[in-house]
Amino acid sequence: MRSITLRGHRGVVRLFFTRHPEAWEGGKLKQAVYEFMGEDIKSATYNIRRNYLTQFFNWCVREGIFPGKPACRIQEEKR
């Protein structure tokens, strides 16, 4: 993966957990994702966030951090 892509991933995941530090606590992740993705942002920003968070959560599942997909299915584009 290119370094600019890794910086993008880190930036989005860091922003998510900075704004929602309680997201790791039991049962709060889904609501935190809804709030984060529901912010007033441009469609391109929304889609970048969706992509990076989806990849991060998939990695968490593969590493055994979460037993299954932890968050809701995020829509493909902001409406």
Kind and range of the H or E run holding 56: helix 43-62
Q: What is the pLDDT of residue 51?
A: 92
18-72 residue pLDDT tens: 999 999 877 788 899 999 999 999 999 999 999 999 999 888 888 988 776 655 5
Domain annotation covers residue 74: no
Residue 56 lies in a domain: yes
Residue 1, pLDDT > 70, answer: no
Answer yes or no: is 47 within a domain: yes
pLDDT of residue 72: 54
Residue 75, domain member (yes or no) = no
Domain-located, residue 70: no
| pLDDT at residue 42 in the model | 95
The 10s digit of each residue's pLDDT in 5-19 is: 788 899 999 999 999
Q: Is 68 helix (H, G, I), strand (E, B) or coil?
A: coil
In a domain, 44, yes or no: yes
